[in-house]
Structure 1
Amino acid sequence: MKFKQQLVILGLVVSANAIGGSIDYLSQQDAEYLAHPAMVGKIGVSGAYYNPAGAVWLEDGTYIQVNNQTHLKEYSMQHGDSKFKSDKASPVVPSVQIVRKKGDTAFFFHAGAIAGGGSVAYSGGIATFPEIASTIDGKLPLSLEASFRNGSTIHGKSYYVALQGGVARKFTDTWSGAIGIRLIDAERKFKGEGNFDIKIDKTNITLLSPKFDIDSERTAFGVAGIFGLNYHPNDRFNLGMRYETETILDFDNKENKLKSGFNSSAGPLGDFFYNYIKKDPAIKQWMSEGSGKRNLPAMAAIGASYKATEKLTLLASGNYYFIKETSDELGNFDHYDNGYEVAVGLDYQLDEKWTLMAGYQYTDTGANEKTYTDTDYVLDANMYSTGVKYKYSEQLELMATYSYVDYKNDKNLKNIKYSKHVDAFGLGMIYKF
């Protein structure tokens, strides 16, 4: 059975939305992250992803954590007076963690959407279309004018589904280490239509109607190594560390409609449109020539937890993404700086049953105005989080969480403006056997 078919059976092929992370990475790998994103220094079942070396400090037993996230999101872009918006939600974003701890050894497993920009549907097209029409208009003879007609819809989808697992072991009374492997099945899709008109200047007479018609699918498979360390000198303090190697993702791109769409509807001027559009940064990576590496960067994470009182635990963590060192044959990462995240959080135990959680995270993606395109823009963000955990029994814990992600609006060199905002809701269940 193929790897992707196995993931479908597991129910893990999803359209996830990039809340945290940099480039294509998604930091939110379980429901608890949406309550306090400073997870790297915490000991718990979520450590199967965030702090695998810390799993050996759990009590002996088998733990399973099942999560779902629901993302209500709005993305928009604007060129001049033309505005394009996608408000397609991601109602089901599942993930699962499993830890088997016995003695000085723990085995860990995690499955979820490790990266990707999610599923979007822009009514009317994307802002690149009127920008292209405006630019081409300036290249036509004075007797002609080019314009873009609204009415089309662009659909995009990007998800990277991952299975990872490994082993952690204590090697002193205070130190432990972990090693693991991650398998990634990546898919990126871009499909839609756009209609242009070429008219006689200052008249309503249409000579030609070039048509943008694209159906692109890019797929890749990759493997990454995971390494962890954890320092646990006492019951009050813990320090977790994690390093993930660069993931080689050599995408195979299948696209066959764009050139034929222009040529069949506009003749020689169709070639003119096509030769210009295929060079546009928002489009060229989706062309048939757009096969090649778009790797996930290596990343390093460190975090600490400190039990300040019997009721209050403080959390802090940071992630660093080595984007500038990442192999990218298509130029997607040109002009990027390395990205990072810093987060803080707290757990406050109200009583034996209830725990309140809260946190904040700042994300610097490493992107800038030279990197943004309509099909690839990652914006810096502030994330505000809260949640509650309920201990139903010694075996079962339940949680409900919420994050509001406030992205910083920005624009690219073509003066296309980009904005996002996301409301994310999480539900989680932890069961100990």
Structure 2
Amino acid sequence: MKFRQKLIILGTVISATSFAGSIDYLSQQDAEYLAHPAMVGKIGVSGAYYNPAGLVWLEDGTYIQVNNQTHLKDYSMEYNGEKFKSDKPSAVVPSLQIVKKAGDTAYFFHAGAIAGGGSVAYGGGIATFPEIADSGFSALGGEFTHGSTIHGQSYYVAFQGGIARKFNDSWSGAVGLRLVDAERKFKGEGNFEILGGVIKPKFDIDSERTAFGASGIFGLNYHPNDRFNLAMRYETETKLDFDNKESKLRKGFKDSVGVLGDKFYDIIGKDPAIKQWMSEGSGRRNLPAVAALGVSYKVAEKTTLLASGNYYFIKEAGDDLGNFDNYDNGYEVAVGLDYELNEKWTLMTGYQYTNTGANEKTYTDTDYVLDADMYSMGAKYKYNAQLDLMATYSLVKYKTDTNLKDIKYKKHVDAFGLGAIYKF
């Protein structure tokens, strides 16, 4: 089986929700993140993604961590008092980490959904449709008369791996490679009426955008003693040159309004929510470079404090279609706490603030990322010397915002995580 086909098979079971991160990135790469998102400075098997250079400070052995997240989502957009809503859950969001540590060297592997907005289904269409009727079709007395549900899907499946090595008794470093297979889909219908129903243009789209890219991963870790740890990670920009396949939109207008079909196609094509999904929509939408910094400090025998941050270089990212126009660089800051209740149980909690770099000039119905507060908690149970189990939860509260066309956007997510770590 070809490597790309393997990626697609994994992708079909991933419906990730972009509730943490910036632009397309997803920061929640395992179940433990949902307990305390300040993961960058922590030494653990999760370091296969968050802190690869810190893996050399684990005990010798082979570790496997399997995770699943379940996201209960409530997305909505509103225009002129009319609401369009998607509450489709993401029941299965898996990820996997494997680490082999021996002496001064550790090898690591991570697989999961590195980016994407997941699956959504908006009953009755999207808010862009009545807005287009009020603007592009207004001179002809245009009205949106609703239609079938709009479906959208966006996932970027990633495999990454590399090697970490101690430099001396305090410093270590890591290098790795990430491969990304990206797919974005937009499918659905919308019905319009012009001149009191004399003309009935039909919006009918089935668009699929795909790309494949690679990026480098570099890490440093400072571990002078068993109480303090400082970690840094840098990921290079991932070039993703999307190939767009869409053939129904122009034909749908021509079939419904004849010779005027091209005119309506041009009107629709001016809307930024639709433009990238049209047949002309091929081009780069790169994942930006990321810099991350984190620290952990054991302040007492049973208590460890955590803090970390991610910075997304959005303004420097390659973008042929204007997706990142008007964005600022995004960032996240997070804090967390581990408390060892006894030799079996560890309690975890944390908070994260996400500034996506987006603003009212960037929001569209098919591409809106909102700033958010994330409140997290969880517990880890040591079943025996080889097996740890964890259950986690995060509440993500987004900032409501409105774009320049007076479309209001809202999101709410409840995320549940389950994980298991086994040491051979």
The alignment's TM-score, normalised by the length of structure 2, stands at 0.98
Do 2:11 and 2:155's aligned partners in 1 also have CA atoms closer than 8 Å?
no
- How far, CA to CA, are the matches of 2:238 and 2:41 in structure 1? 24
Task: Mark the CA change 1:9 to 1:279 in structure 2 (over 3 Å): closer, same or farther.
Answer: closer
DSSP 3-state at the match of 2:327: coil
Alpha-carbon deviations, 1:307-327, whole Å to 9, x = none?
A: 010110000000000000001
Counterpart of 1:360 in structure 2 is 351
The question of 1:418 aligning with 2:409 is answered yes
- How far, CA to CA, are the matches of 2:396 and 2:170 in structure 1? 37
Deviation at 1:138, TM superposition (A): 2.9
Q: 2:199 aligns with which of 182, 197, 208?
A: 208
Q: How does 1:44-83 map to 2 (within 5 A)?
A: 44-83=44-83
Counterpart of 1:186 in structure 2 is 182
DSSP 3-state at the match of 2:315: coil
- How far, CA to CA, are the matches of 2:254 and 2:188 in structure 1? 17
Alpha-carbon deviations, 1:84-137, whole Å to 9, x = none?
A: 000000000000001000000000000000000110000000000000001134
Q: 1:312 aligns with which of 303, 306, 310?
A: 303
Counterpart of 2:165 in structure 1 is 169
Percent identity for Structure 1 against Structure 2 = 78
- How far, CA to CA, are the matches of 1:20 and 1:252 in structure 2? 26
- How far, CA to CA, are the matches of 2:147 and 2:362 in structure 1? 27
Code of the residue aligned with 1:148 in structure 2: it is: F
Counterpart of 2:43 in structure 1 is 43
The question of 1:230 aligning with 2:236 is answered no
Counterpart of 2:398 in structure 1 is 407
DSSP 3-state at the match of 1:261: helix
- How far, CA to CA, are the matches of 2:12 and 2:93 in structure 1? 8
Deviation at 1:5, TM superposition (A): 2.1
- How far, CA to CA, are the matches of 1:12 and 1:360 in structure 2? 31
Counterpart of 1:203 in structure 2 is none
**Range with greater deviation from structure 2 (42-51 or 11-20):** 11-20
DSSP 3-state at the match of 1:420: strand
- How far, CA to CA, are the matches of 1:252 and 1:298 in structure 2? 22
Deviation at 1:82, TM superposition (A): 1.6
Deviation at 1:269, TM superposition (A): 3.6
DSSP 3-state at the match of 1:95: strand
Deviation at 1:6, TM superposition (A): 1.6
- How far, CA to CA, are the matches of 1:153 and 1:122 in structure 2? 5
Q: How much is the aligned-residue C-alpha RMSD, in angstroms?
A: 1.0
DSSP 3-state at the match of 2:175: strand
- How far, CA to CA, are the matches of 1:6 and 1:118 in structure 2? 19
Counterpart of 2:117 in structure 1 is 117
Do 1:101 and 1:107's aligned partners in 2 also have CA atoms closer than 8 Å?
yes
DSSP 3-state at the match of 2:412: strand
Do 1:7 and 1:13's aligned partners in 2 also have CA atoms closer than 8 Å?
no
Do 1:76 and 1:418's aligned partners in 2 also have CA atoms closer than 8 Å?
yes
Deviation at 1:251, TM superposition (A): 0.2
DSSP 3-state at the match of 2:274: helix
Deviation at 1:10, TM superposition (A): 5.3
- How far, CA to CA, are the matches of 2:390 and 2:315 in structure 1? 38
Counterpart of 1:151 in structure 2 is 147
Residue correspondences, number: 424
Alpha-carbon deviations, 1:214-253, whole Å to 9, x = none?
A: 0000000000000000000000000011000000000000
Deviation at 1:270, TM superposition (A): 3.1
Q: Which runs of 5+ in 1 are unaligned?
A: 201-205
DSSP 3-state at the match of 2:53: helix
Task: Mark the CA change 1:285 to 1:12 in structure 2 (over 3 Å): closer, same or farther.
Answer: closer
DSSP 3-state at the match of 2:194: strand
- How far, CA to CA, are the matches of 1:223 and 1:215 in structure 2? 27
The alignment's TM-score, normalised by the length of structure 1, stands at 0.96
- How far, CA to CA, are the matches of 2:92 and 2:377 in structure 1? 20
Code of the residue aligned with 1:186 in structure 2: it is: A
Code of the residue aligned with 1:197 in structure 2: it is: E
Code of the residue aligned with 1:347 in structure 2: it is: D
Counterpart of 2:363 in structure 1 is 372
Do 1:362 and 1:381's aligned partners in 2 also have CA atoms closer than 8 Å?
yes
Task: Mark the CA change 1:12 to 1:396 in structure 2 (over 3 Å): closer, same or farther.
Answer: farther
Alpha-carbon deviations, 1:144-165, whole Å to 9, x = none?
A: x110012321000000000000
- How far, CA to CA, are the matches of 1:187 and 1:419 in structure 2? 24
- How far, CA to CA, are the matches of 2:43 and 2:291 in structure 1? 18
- How far, CA to CA, are the matches of 1:361 and 1:416 in structure 2? 27
- How far, CA to CA, are the matches of 1:372 and 1:170 in structure 2? 45
